[in-house]
Amino acid sequence: AAEERADAAARARLAEARAQQDAETREFTEREGRRLAAELQAAIDRELSALRQDFVAKSEGRQAELGELAAGVRAAEAVLGETRQYFNANLQVHQLSAAALALGKRLETSEPVGAELKLLREAAQGDPLVATAVAALGGEGKKGVPTAAQLKARFAGVHEAARRAALVPEGAGGGAWGQLLGSLLALVTIRPQGDVQGAGADEALARVSHRLAAGDLRAAVAEAEGPALAARGNPAVALVVRDWIKDAKLRLQAEQALKILNAHTALLNEKLVL
């Protein structure tokens, strides 16, 4: 019986020791589990923090890069805009210069200038100065403008006809008899030549011819519009020279318009260079 009691007591102590060991094991396991979990969470937090910092740094870097890229794009767009503007202006100036040159070539003849005026209008793109110059010739585009040489040659006949009209005696009338008398007097009287003095129509006609021979069309027109050949002073003579004066003034107007166009295009070209 004593042995049984001793054996039971031993088993009880063993069971108690095992229970205590199990409790200590569970406590150790739980404690280590908490420690490992805390360390793992700390490691995860550190990794997440590092990832966040790296992401923020990279994001800021990308934003800076994007900002620089955007600034570069804006600068490129500005340069492209300026280049496009310069190219368009350069193209317009060259088109305008070519159109003015074509008009100048055409005005060396008496051929119609309608096509050249159309080119100028298109190249002008609303330029008021060009529009004014074109308007000065707009009405004559279809029939052309007589050249200075043609006007000079034509005035030889005008001179003779006007001289005959000027020499018709007063009271002879403007009919066939008066014209015959004027023609006869033109044959027998000495015709003034050169830059002569005198207030009469014959002297004025001589001065017009002299100015034309010197190549001064503007001075010739001014002389032809003087009092000696005006309608108030001598209606018959004024009638003879009227059409010639009109065409001569048209030639002067055309040359003036061309000078304005050439000066304008030269200024535009100079601005492009600057």
If asked whether residues 241 and 153 sit together in one domain, one would say yes
Which uninterrupted H or E stretch holds 83? helix 2-107
CA dihedral sign of residues 34, 36, 39, 45 = negative
Does residue 109 sit within a domain?
yes
Verify that 153 and 248 share a domain, yes or no: yes
Asked if residue 16 is part of any domain, the answer here is: no
The reply to whether 154 and 217 lie within a common domain is yes
Predicted structure pTM score: 0.63
Among residues 200, 240, 247, 201, the alpha carbon closest in space to that of 221 is found at 247
In angstroms, what CA-CA distances link 86 with 49, 77, 224, 235, 273? 54, 14, 49, 58, 10
Total domains present in the chain: 2
d(CA 147, CA 215): 12
**Each residue's pLDDT tens digit in the chain (274 positions)?**
777 788 888 888 888 888 888 888 888 888 887 888 888 888 888 888 888 888 777 877 777 777 777 777 677 666 656 655 555 556 677 888 888 889 899 989 999 888 888 888 888 887 888 888 888 776 666 788 999 999 999 999 898 888 877 766 565 555 554 555 555 555 557 677 888 888 888 888 999 999 999 999 999 999 999 888 886 667 877 888 899 999 999 999 999 989 988 888 888 877 766 5
Query: DSSP for 86-124?
Result: HHHHHHHHHHHHHHHHHHHHHHTSSS--HHHHHHHHHHH
Do 153 and 242 lie in one domain? The reply is yes
Is there a single domain that holds both residue 187 and residue 112?
no
* Domain of residue 109, residue span: 79-142+261-273
The verdict on 132 and 157 lying in the same domain is no
Query: Is the same domain home to 155 and 246?
Result: yes
Rounded Cα gap, residues 57 and 64, in angstroms? 10
